[in-house]
Copies of this chain bind each other. A is one copy, B any other.
Amino acid sequence: MTTPVVLLLDPIPADAVGDALAESFRFAGASDPILSAFDAGAGRGDGIFETLGVNDGRARGIDAHLDRFAASATKLDLPQPNLPQWRAAIERVLGELPRTGQASIRLVLTRGNGGTPTCWVTGSIVDGDFPERTTGIRVVTLSRGYANDVGEHAPWLLVGAKTLSYAVNMAALREAKRRGADDAVFVSTDGFALEGPTSSLLLRQGDRIVTPAIQHGILAGTTQADLFDVLTAEGFTCESRRIDTRELLRSDAAWLVSSVRLAAPITAVDGTDVATDPELTARMNAALLG
């Protein structure tokens, strides 16, 4: 099959098994339209997604992505996804991707039309070698408009859910490019660093690795969690806590980490060069690809 791959999933109950599950898949052409004008995913960004990185035919962190997918469904009052169905869908899409090289898989579940969700999985080959894994990225800090504890008080703002309503994330990336940078770090109105528009933030401070705590208005990062395992095994102390925006400038290294680009070292923040750790960056990316 040619790529990209599109696999449609029939909506089935979360506990459906057997034939109902096995027969719930159907491939579509990459450019085939699959969503109607009245689907909540098409008209209101009302749904959830996950993006998984794939290397040499293996998808990273399937369990963590499925867990977060189910948690996002709960936060949006969507029907619970049938996780064995989605796992089988990932395997089917993997079966259509090349056995070597890098790729990405995306899971999408929308609120559909009339209560029945619309579900699909895509698989795409990732072009290029991600030179930014070594050359790094220049970032700007952009206000997210929220205080760091907004998610605790206003769950309807969906700050911890990975929703299809990504227009602000995309606008932030355009603003970063407009300012001559490669990416952005969202900061809270009360002075804390949060996350990138499509990534999590990691800092090294001596033998400690820190990331913003998820109760502080951010999405739980699957790549960040993988790296905490890797770095703990290396002897680092890993912790989640509030991170003052000024720590971006005075750490020993900083990264934006995500499922497909992996660990991209931050080389400058708002035009000021910052320290990097090329050896650790290389080990992190090697571990993620390993």
Residues on A facing B (Cβ under 8 Å): 4, 6, 28, 30-47, 49, 76-77, 106, 108, 110-111, 120, 122, 142-147, 150, 153-158, 161, 163-172, 174-175, 189
Give Cα A172–Cα B165 distance, bound, in whole angstroms. 14
Copies of this chain present: 2
- Extra contacts besides A34-B36, A47-B167 (15): CB < 8 Å: A30-B36, A33-B33, A33-B35, A34-B42, A42-B108, A44-B167, A45-B165, A45-B166, A76-B167, A77-B174, A142-B154, A156-B174, A157-B168, A164-B167, A165-B168
Does the CB pair A32–B36 fall under 8 Å?
Answer: yes
Chain B residues, CB < 8 A from A172: 156
Distance in Å: Cβ of A234 to nearest Cβ of chain B: 35
* CB nearest neighbor in B for A217: B145
Chain B residues, CB < 8 A from A167: 44-47, 76, 158, 161, 163-165
Give the interface SS of chain A, mostly helix, strand, loop or mixed: mixed
Chain B residues, CB < 8 A from A108: 37, 42-43
Distance in Å: Cβ of A190 to nearest Cβ of chain B: 10
Which listed residue (B28, B44, B77, B143) contacts A154, Cβ 8 A? B143
Does the CB pair B158–A153 fall under 8 Å?
Answer: no
Chain B residues, CB < 8 A from A44: 45, 164, 166-167, 169-170
Chain B residues, CB < 8 A from A155: 171, 175
